[in-house]
Amino acid sequence: MSDISTFMLNSITGMQLTADGQYLLIHGDQPTAALHRSVLNDLLVALPNAIEHADRAAHNGRETGFALHCQGWEVGRLDGMGMVVIRFRLSANAGLSFSLPAGQIPYLLQALGGVVAAGEARASDVTLQ
């Protein structure tokens, strides 16, 4: 079995998909990294968690949270299904969608209403919209 070495990437200068859509190419300060499309969902889940943990380590364990900046949103329903889709438009026109059972929408509305009604003072570096 061959030795596994760590690939250290300290900057990203660009990203692109291969013509067949099979790989995301990440260009940076090292040779180009190629990520197969089958690992992109796992990477999407891992990155926010890694960002929070790295930020805690950098700030001596202080509890921190991570939120992506959203430029817009839309809500829809999947064709003939009991699932509602909430899609957030992020920077550079990227989109991130979540689906949840339609029965959970009243609880989501209740939670959002509670946040709006609370009017609690928030940390200076956090803005909820």
Name the 3-class secondary structure at 108. helix
pTM tops 0.95, yes or no: no
The domain spans of the chain are 70-120
Buried b or exposed e, range 30-62, using 16+ CB within 10 angstroms = eeeeeeeeeeeeeeeeeeeeeeeeeeeeeeeee
Would you place residue 37 in the very low, low, confident or very high pLDDT band (cuts 50, 70, 90)?
very high
In whole angstroms, what is the distance from residue 31 CA to residue 17 CA? 16
Encode pLDDT of 13-28 as tens digits.
Answer: 999 999 999 999 999 9
pLDDT at 121: 56
Encode pLDDT of 53-83 as tens digits.
Answer: 888 888 887 777 777 888 999 998 877 778 8
